Amino acid sequence: MSLADHARGLILAVQFLTRIPTPQFDLSDEAERHEALGRATAYFPLVGAMVGLATGAVILACSRIWPPWLAVAIGLAFEARLTGAFHEDAVADFCDAFGGGWTRDDVLRILKDSRLGSYGTLGLVLAVALRGGALAAIEPGLLLAATTASACLGRWTALPTMWALPPLADRQSLSRDVGRKPSLRRVAFGTLLAMPGCAAFAIAEPARMAAGLAATLVVGAWVVRYVGRRLGGINGDSLGFLCYATQIVVPLAACASWRP
C-alpha cells in the first residue's frame, strides 16, 4: 500500500468518527468504496487516541478554573460536539433495542425507530454518569493518559468484533459498508496503531492498564456472544455501544484503588 493509500485511509477514518472537516473522495464505485473503508478501519484506534487526547486536554484545562465534575462535563460536551455524539447515540439505540426487544425482529424493528425509549434513556444516562464519574475520580497526572487510552481502545474494538461476527445482511452498518470482515493482517495493523495511544497509560500504571485491557476484552467477548446469539451478526449500534463501554471500563480501572 502506498503512502497516499495510508493518508486516504486515515482521512476516511477521521471523516467516519468525527465532524472535523476533511477532503472529500469520490467513492461512487462500490468495490473501491469497500476497499477504502476497509483500509480506514485500521486507523480507527489512531483517530480514537486523537479524540481522547483532545478530550483529556479540555478537561485538564477546565479543571484549573472549575471543580473536577464540571471540568469533566465540559470535556464530554466538547467530545460530543467533536464526534457528533456518534457513540452516545449508539448506546441509546442498543439499550432500547436489546432491552425492549424479545425476538430478532423486535430488536431490528426498534433499532429502526428514531424515538428514544425508557431503556435507551436510562442506559445513556447511566453510561454518561459512569464515564463522567470515573473521569472525575482519576488523579490529574493520569487523566490525559487514561482518556487517550480508553478512546483508543474503544475504537480498536471494532476491528476484532467485525472479524468475529459477520455484518447483518438486512441492516446498514460499518461492517456491511466494508463488504467483508477485516483480515487478520488488518486487525494486527490496527492493533499496532493502538499501541502509541495506550503507551503512556501502560508506562505510568501498568496494573491499571492491564485491568482496563482485560475488562475491554471481557466486554468485547460478551458483545460478540450476546449480539451474535440475538441477531446472528454485528451492526453499527452494537459496535458503537462496545466502544462507549470500553470508555467506561478503562477509566474505572484508572481510578480504582485496590486495598489489602
Segment 8-67, tens digit of pLDDT: 889 999 999 999 998 887 666 655 666 778 888 999 999 999 999 999 999 999 999 999
CB 212 within 8 A of CB 145: no
Give the model's confidence band at 228: pLDDT under 50 very low, under 70 low, under 90 confident, else very high.
very high
Residue 29 has a pLDDT of 60
Instruction: For residue 89, give the C-alpha cell.
Output: 447515540
Nearest to 219 by CA among 243, 202, 197: 243
Segment 118-175, tens digit of pLDDT: 999 999 999 999 999 999 999 999 999 999 999 999 999 999 999 999 888 765 555 5
- Is the pLDDT at 92 greater than 80, yes or no? yes
Residue type, 108: L
Domain ranges of the chain: 3-247
pTM assigned to the model:
0.93
Segment 192-209, tens digit of pLDDT: 999 999 999 999 999 999
Tell me the C-alpha distance between 129 and 13, whole Å. 28
Tell me the C-alpha distance between 198 and 211, whole Å. 13
The string of DSSP letters for 162-215 reads HHHSPBPTTS--HHHHH-SPPPHHHHHHHHHHHHHHHHHHHHH-HHHHHHHHHH
Nearest to 52 by CA among 198, 150, 191: 150
Percentage of residues of the chain with pLDDT beyond 90: 77
Q: Tell me how far CA of residue 9 lies from CA of 23, 31, 109, 197, in angstroms.
A: 12, 15, 33, 18
Residue 31 has a pLDDT of 59
Nearest to 201 by CA among 249, 247, 150, 248: 150
Q: Is the CA virtual torsion 100, 105, 108, 113 positive or negative? A: negative
Segment 97-106, tens digit of pLDDT: 999 999 999 9
